[in-house]
Amino acid sequence: MNGIQDGVAVVTGAGSGIGRQTAIRFAEEGASVVVADVDEEGGDETVGTIRDEGGEATFVRTDVTDGDDVDAMVQTALDEYGGLDFAHNNAGIADEGTRLAEYDESEWDRMIDINLKGVWRCLKAEIPEMIEQGGGAIVNTSSVAGVSANGSAHYAASKHGVIGLTRRATVDYADDGIRFNAVCPGVIDTPMVQQASEDNTEEMEQITASIPAGRLGTPEDIASTVVWLCSDDSSYVMGQPIVIDGGLLAQ
């Protein structure tokens, strides 16, 4: 893909699901990848898959609620590969499906700290390095819950907030040559969704039947969009929440 070859990417939440597939896709397109996750076993598996296919990847354990971890993630890209061109700030947690008044403050704080403040911490570490080298591209993971009333209140608030960060960053740093966009996945066949499906098969069948595409999304569906958004092929796409949901919100 135009502009990805020989670049350097960091991907958070890359130990499984969407993050793993994005890391693999970056490597397939010729980028060196820093695989970041709190899950060391999953992160090592992602690196192994990339290396087995002849790609370049390094794992670094990263908790996005820890600013020092996030700084170390970016420093790993600089130390191992000499720069930072692309970032997919993807790490996040799912909601519990509860109503606004039915969860306590600690649950709210955890959701915001990981899903929203975690993205902010990553941006804060990534942006100065991209400014230093003259530009780059960053994609943040939001959700269909970031552009609709899907999901519980704290999850929806966190994902709406990611879009707000993405848009503000676009305005703040366009002159520095950095592009920002967000992906808004629908129901994607990831380990989290697979667990939910096992817990409530009938509900998941109903959800799948409600999707115009007739299937759940795949991590590859999201990964291909993320890498495209980082490529030169999307050079005029800036500050956009890109919905990838099989037509779910079109109804």
Look at strands 241-244 and 178-185 and give their pairing.
parallel
- Catalytic choice (103, 155, 173, 236): 155
How far apart CA 84 and CA 102 sit, in angstroms, is: 42
Three state DSSP letters for the chain:
CCCCCCCEEEEECCCCHHHHHHHHHHHHCCCEEEEEECCHHHHHHHHHHHHHCCCEEEEEECCCCCHHHHHHHHHHHHHHHCCCCEEEECCCCCCCCCCHHHCCHHHHHHHHHHHCHHHHHHHHHHHHHHHHHCCEEEEEECCHHHCCCCCCHHHHHHHHHHHHHHHHHHHHHHHHCEEEEEEEECCECCHHHHHHHHHCHHHHHHHHHCCCCCCCECHHHHHHHHHHHHCHHHCCCCCCEEEECCCHHHC
Q: Decide if 155 is catalytic.
A: yes
The residues annotated with a catalytic role in the active site are: 155
